[in-house]
Structure 1
Amino acid sequence: MVRPDTPPMNPDTSEADARQLRLARLQGDAYRAALDHMALEVAEAGGHTTAGDYLVAYAIEEAEGMYHLEGADLVWHNPDAGNAHVEVVVCDAADGRFVPGLDVTATLVGPDGHEHGPHRQELVWHPMLYHYARNWDLPADGTYTLRVHVEPPAFMRHDEVNGRRFAQPVDVEFPGIEIERGQEPVEPPS
């Protein structure tokens, strides 16, 4: 089902017919269902807003371990000093699909007004949902403001009509986020 709140792509194009644009929106609908599940049901805090050509969402959870490629080996890293995991998702506002290859930075403004960051959010492969994330080391629980900055991607854009997008940086702010620090110290399977 195509989401009614998603603005349509311009159908006046030689690169994609109506069926192809519909298929792209169906991909976006499936991605959005996963995003809503993560940000609004699973995460301790989450939300989203539109900005320019993007839908920008966030989810905040306990810090978690991850695999990192070191040379030719995947090496598990526990969260160490990290006590919050900040996830940022950037989607195409027109069809809802994840936008890869972005330079996404985030800043958290703490309850005392002190700014933490900005920190670059790295692309994370997740079994359910690609996103940009990192573990943070925050000094206190409390009410934070999350500021997200997205630079225009360097990738090529196919389609002489719909391809003229993602050309401006965007900044969004999510105030009033309650963060309770913690860790999810999961060891990888043996």
Structure 2
Amino acid sequence: MRRRSFLAAAGVGFAGSLAGCTNLFETTASREPPVVENRPEASYIPTHQEGMEMVGMAEAGDLKVGVMYSYPHRFWEVQGQQAERIDVGRNDAIHLMVSVWDAETGVVVPSTGVTVETSDGDGHREEEVVYEMLSQRMGFHYGDNWPLPGDGTYTVRVDVGGANIRRFGELEGKFAEPASAELEFEYSERERNDIPYTTLEERQGNPGSLPVMEMQMEMDTQDGSGMNMDNESEMDNESEMGNESGMHGDSGTNGGMAMPVGKAPAPDSLPGESFGNETSGDAVFVANAVPGGRFGDQPYLLVSPRTPYNGLVIPSMGLTATLDGDEFELEPALDPDVGFHYGANVEGLSSDDELELVVDTPPQAARHEGYETAFLEMPPMTF
């Protein structure tokens, strides 16, 4: 991805504008320990755990947008079955993150393009289409490392593209058109450096996952001062496969707003009859045969992939199903109760059929540390 940077001044005026502002090119604050050697080809405990600073939440059409940041850090871009490390750049001041969800149901909305623009009052502007990302703490989101020229007041604009995936129930017809949201926030390096940061020397590299961050924001603030982030949670390395759906809208306790992280529903809460659960490349796949009606006139093959420890949805993959010799491409879809999943209408579908799932394309979302070795080599599954 190529970022566009803009400065109002030019020529001699531009050169002069840099005098006394060397922090424009010296804002990087990466504390990361070396990458773990001999990492498992699966989800693992990363070298460290970070907190976050909330910028705020705003409406973008039918969607809710949440913006937050932490320290700039390495991440991995995925192309095909290869994960390429993206290191912190010289100018990067923060790791900027955006969550996008349906305001009424709390369903996280992946597979839509997100562009972010930041600007200050001095004519400095940054604009980029940001990555789809998977994080153990945040689940699916959009983000990238991001430069800021220094302390000050910034406006962040988030442009969300129209969704081009199937939508069911009360989500049908929503998110078809692009929408935008704007937020203003105060940034200082000192406050960024106060964000909690814990190294995990004794646990790093072990199979498992960090706990999902519980995020709660008071209704009367958009500057992060009312943000409550659960940074003290104990790690739970028991496989959950989505014990909670996380789809409860944006109403939190004490009149606040909760930011959903995109948990898949528990397997026994999915509609229809179960084919069972299988694992490929460390991802857990839950497959169900749903009678006609809710997802169309014909029965619906519903496949819900999730991470093995916190049951987080995994988008941006290509899936093909074979049922008794017939092959079907599974399409990404959104449902108010099921959330993000993959599916296809199949005439005569029954959970007694022999089902084979093939991951044609592993998840192409970028990865935070701890996921970059998982969900890449994904052999076929037979249910």
TM surpasses 0.5: yes
Aligned partners of 1:72 and 1:157: how far apart in 2?
Answer: 28
Q: Give the Å deviation of 1:169.
A: 1.5
1:83/1:135 contact within 8 Å kept: yes
Alignment of 1:163 onto 2:168: no
| Mapped contact 1:63–1:85 kept (Cα < 8 A) | yes
The amino acid that maps onto 1:163 is E
Superposed CA deviations along residues 153-188 of structure 1, whole A, max 9, x for unmatched, are 1112234x640211221111101332438799x9x9
1:151 aligns with 161
Code of the aligned partner of 1:141: D
Q: Secondary structure at the match of 1:112?
A: coil
| Aligned equivalent of 1:105, options 111, 115, 125 | 115
Residue 143 of structure 2 is matched in structure 1 by 133
Match of 1:78 in 2: 87
The residue type equivalent to 1:139 in the other structure is P
| Alignment match, 1:49 | 58
Q: Which one has a larger percent helix, Structure 1 or Structure 2?
A: 1
Q: Is the 2:71–2:94 contact (alpha carbons within 8 Å) kept by the matching residues of 1?
A: yes
Q: Deviations over 1:51-89 (max 9, x none)?
A: 321011000222111122356433333212222111111
Unpaired segments ≥5 residues, structure 1: 1-40
- Over 3 Å counting, the alpha-carbon distance change for 1:90 and 1:162 in structure 2 is closer
Could you tell me how far apart the structure 2 residues matched to 1:163 and 1:170 are?
A: 17
The unaligned stretches of length 5 or more in structure 2 are 1-49, 207-383
Q: For 1:90 and 1:146, how far apart are their aligned partners in 2?
A: 15
Structure with greater contact order relative to length (CA < 8 Å, sep ≥ 6): 1
Q: Rg bigger for which structure?
A: 2
Is 1:45–1:177's contact at 8 Å kept on the other side of the alignment?
no
Preserved CA contact (<8 Å) 2:154 2:187:
yes
- TM norm structure 1: 0.66
- Aligned-residue offset at 1:44: 2.5
Tell me the residue number matched to 2:185. 176
Number of matched residues?
146
* TM-aligned CA distance change 1:51 to 1:189, over 3 Å: same
Aligned with 1:63: secondary structure?
Answer: coil
Structure 1 runs of 4+ with >3 Å offset: 70-73, 181-184
Taking the aligned partners of 1:167 and 1:151, their CA distance within structure 2 comes to 8
Distance in 1 (alpha carbons) for counterparts of 2:86 and 2:174: 37
Instruction: Give the RMSD, CA atoms, in angstroms.
Output: 2.8
